Structure 1
């Protein structure tokens, strides 16, 4: 049977949750006084949406093959990403064999090099790449994880990211990662409040449960060092993404400064094997956290993971729902996974990319067996209002 070719590529946008999980309504923990790079300005301190965190919306990429199979994926990128897909990237896809994923990635990356390399362009390439993997797995009638070499464990184990680690423990997660709420601009009082919250959570969850701080690129080396050392007595497991993604030198210094046994993690906003090569070769962190929807897709995550393995570093992808589940279950150096608590009060387990995806699996008691459904195992919700702003 001849391998099908790619017949058509379509890019859509949608608002309200989904892949752009920051695009939430009012009173959601994900937008409640979280330390950010913009927190140096008082008017942008209370809400991340106040400085435009939710302006992009979700990008949906559909790729249709000559046999009628359709693969799709979602990421952030919105209308900008849709323009890039329709007006630039589609030419490297249509007419190609669905198996030629490596060549298509290479051509998309090098064709956009003069205006891409990271950020929105790599988000977009990631979405296309994940749709290609979904399509190929559907053509072959098997889950994506089988294309990646098959599972190395029976189920995934999760930690939870959200405002209520105490509730996450009750739900069976192995740890809870809290957003740091107060940054350097809030001075000593802010630091005190951060430590008070950590101490309160430690008292509620006991000594064995993991607690971590997600600092979302908002600190400097001095503040991050003070925070890490002061938090050590409360058994903080790691400090995450403390500095600007471009400050490799600062990360290398911070890793030397933190107390023995505390981990430094980062990489959520890094992209491609070249960016992660700097993090690894400069000794910037103990765990890298690429987002498969932003770092270059599955094709690039495979390379990033191999590089990390050679440096004895762990790969724990940033929460990206099924797109990372299929990867983590196939890699020994990805021993656990992240789950974003998208319920507004972080008080129950709901699908991470709700309402955009149907059949999206969620952990039960902090664990999950990745479904055997072909592709990534999810469907687009037909009730979501998809908009195709451009065509080619």
Structure 2
């Protein structure tokens, strides 16, 4: 079997990130989305999504490369290769794009391709990706509703009640207006905790950009980061996520050592080598590789081994389409310990329409993990055709 196509598919929508004041649902990226389709000469094909600068990613995958090794486009590297030889192909993609890649958009494209190759291997063998990753250890996992902070305590309470009504036992609020006003930050968290009650899980992602995402401001100082962890502890927060500059591993380790709240991070990192330094440096209690950014399932499998050796939890960051959720669930099924799956309740019309999945909560807020080569997710070809654009 040989790879015959590595196709970047650029989709255009009409929505932007938005976080309302009331309990209405927030919206994730709804303006651009990149998909990757990998096809073979035996009729097998697979799809994956990537959270990246989508228009630029098209050129990296299928644009005009150069003759020198390290400047090749990703499709040229893969055409004619055996899609089942995933680990060797990962190395070939990394070296072939090394002079313009190694991180960022190139690695995000490699991640999507790698996930698609694992899907092809699953289809070719008739096994689930979880089985290929080492075996299926669980059939269900608790889902947490992943959304943005609302801008008022009343909106937070309304939103939290809405997730309770949908059956969620865990909710993560992130970004939005958080970081602009410390007093309001505490009021928003307090409203969420009061509504969720003492027995449901409340997770917080303050964001690491200066003063949230709405206006410019300084990065948090170390003292401010420590103070943030201390007061979040008053509200029995399950973790505080990705709130330190991602290059400051020493700061993560320092604050983790004294924080009353568990520290979660990793969505900004990529490659085995970066995660190795992060985990061995004692930076987190919960490591969060994003399969659309870290290097894909090939890298995530090795991150899981590191996490197990360090005796920390792994919860994939998966705030995108159902494709990413599906791949994340397969990784979760293979883990020795798995507290949560991130469930993006804030999908835009664009990210929501790309793929269909039968993910549903049971009475305990758990999601069944599909078992089978397709991972329980199917792309909507008509939707994709209707939103596809060319540069």
Task: Report the TM-score, using the length of structure 2 for normalisation.
Answer: 0.82
Cα offset, 1:388, TM superposition: 6.8
Q: Tell me, yes or no, if the aligned pair for 1:158 and 1:339 is still in contact at 8 Å.
A: yes
| Aligned equivalent of 2:299 | 300
| Aligned equivalent of 1:242 | 243
Q: Tell me, yes or no, if the aligned pair for 1:321 and 1:353 is still in contact at 8 Å.
A: no
| Aligned equivalent of 1:64 | 39
Q: Following superposition of structure 1 onto structure 2, how do residues 93-112 of structure 1 map, counting pairs within 5 Å?
A: 93-112=78-97
Partners in 2 of 1:211 and 1:352 — Cα distance?
A: 28
Provide, for residues 114-146 of structure 1, a one-character-per-residue CA deviation record: whole Å limited to 9, x for no partner. 221222111100011111111221222333222
| Aligned equivalent of 1:269 | 268
Q: 1:126 to 1:115 in 2, by over 3 A?
A: same
Partners in 2 of 1:388 and 1:109 — Cα distance?
A: 28
Provide, for residues 79-118 of structure 1, a one-character-per-residue CA deviation record: whole Å limited to 9, x for no partner. 2112111141112222112211111101101222222122
Structure 2 residue 226 is matched with structure 1 residue 228: no
Partners in 1 of 2:208 and 2:30 — Cα distance?
A: 17
Cα offset, 1:308, TM superposition: 1.3
SS at match of 2:225: helix
Q: Following superposition of structure 1 onto structure 2, how do residues 305-316 of structure 1 map, counting pairs within 5 Å?
A: 305-316=304-315
Q: Tell me, yes or no, if the aligned pair for 2:77 and 2:96 is still in contact at 8 Å.
A: no
Partners in 1 of 2:233 and 2:350 — Cα distance?
A: 31
- More displaced stretch, 288-297 vs 213-222: 213-222
RMSD (CA atoms): 2.6
Q: 1:363 to 1:267 in 2, by over 3 A?
A: same
Q: 1:156 to 1:273 in 2, by over 3 A?
A: same
SS at match of 2:352: coil
Q: Following superposition of structure 1 onto structure 2, how do residues 87-166 of structure 1 map, counting pairs within 5 Å?
A: 87=63, 88-162=73-147, 163=149, 164-166=159-161
Cα offset, 1:152, TM superposition: 0.5
SS at match of 1:243: coil
Provide, for residues 318-359 of structure 1, a one-character-per-residue CA deviation record: whole Å limited to 9, x for no partner. 023111011101111333211121267xxxxxx994111123
| Aligned equivalent of 2:67 | none
SS at match of 2:353: coil
**Length, aligned pairs only:** 350
Residue 179 (structure 1) aligned to one of 174, 177, 198: 174
Provide, for residues 190-234 of structure 1, a one-character-per-residue CA deviation record: whole Å limited to 9, x for no partner. 111111111122221211212121022134322221122122222
Cα offset, 1:25, TM superposition: 4.8
Partners in 1 of 2:201 and 2:333 — Cα distance?
A: 21
Q: Tell me, yes or no, if the aligned pair for 2:50 and 2:292 is still in contact at 8 Å.
A: yes
| Aligned equivalent of 2:339 | 335
Partners in 1 of 2:178 and 2:202 — Cα distance?
A: 18
Cα offset, 1:182, TM superposition: 4.5
Structure 2: 5+ residue runs without aligned partners?
A: 64-72, 150-158, 210-219, 319-323
SS at match of 2:263: strand
SS at match of 1:354: helix
SS at match of 1:208: coil
Q: 1:32 to 1:247 in 2, by over 3 A?
A: farther
Partners in 2 of 1:205 and 1:15 — Cα distance?
A: 36
SS at match of 2:134: coil
Give 4+ residue runs of structure 1 displaced > 4 Å after superposition: 180-184
Q: Tell me, yes or no, if the aligned pair for 1:169 and 1:209 is still in contact at 8 Å.
A: no
SS at match of 2:38: strand
Partners in 2 of 1:360 and 1:243 — Cα distance?
A: 35
Structure 1: 5+ residue runs without aligned partners?
A: 17-22, 34-46, 345-350
Q: Tell me, yes or no, if the aligned pair for 1:71 and 1:135 is still in contact at 8 Å.
A: yes
Provide, for residues 277-325 of structure 1, a one-character-per-residue CA deviation record: whole Å limited to 9, x for no partner. 1211211111011101111001110011111111111110002311101
Q: Tell me, yes or no, if the aligned pair for 2:61 and 2:74 is still in contact at 8 Å.
A: yes
Cα offset, 1:387, TM superposition: 3.8
Cα offset, 1:157, TM superposition: 1.4
Q: Following superposition of structure 1 onto structure 2, how do residues 346-357 of structure 1 map, counting pairs within 5 Å?
A: 353-357=351-355
Provide, for residues 214-259 of structure 1, a one-character-per-residue CA deviation record: whole Å limited to 9, x for no partner. 0221343222211221222221221110111111111112112322
Partners in 2 of 1:69 and 1:213 — Cα distance?
A: 40
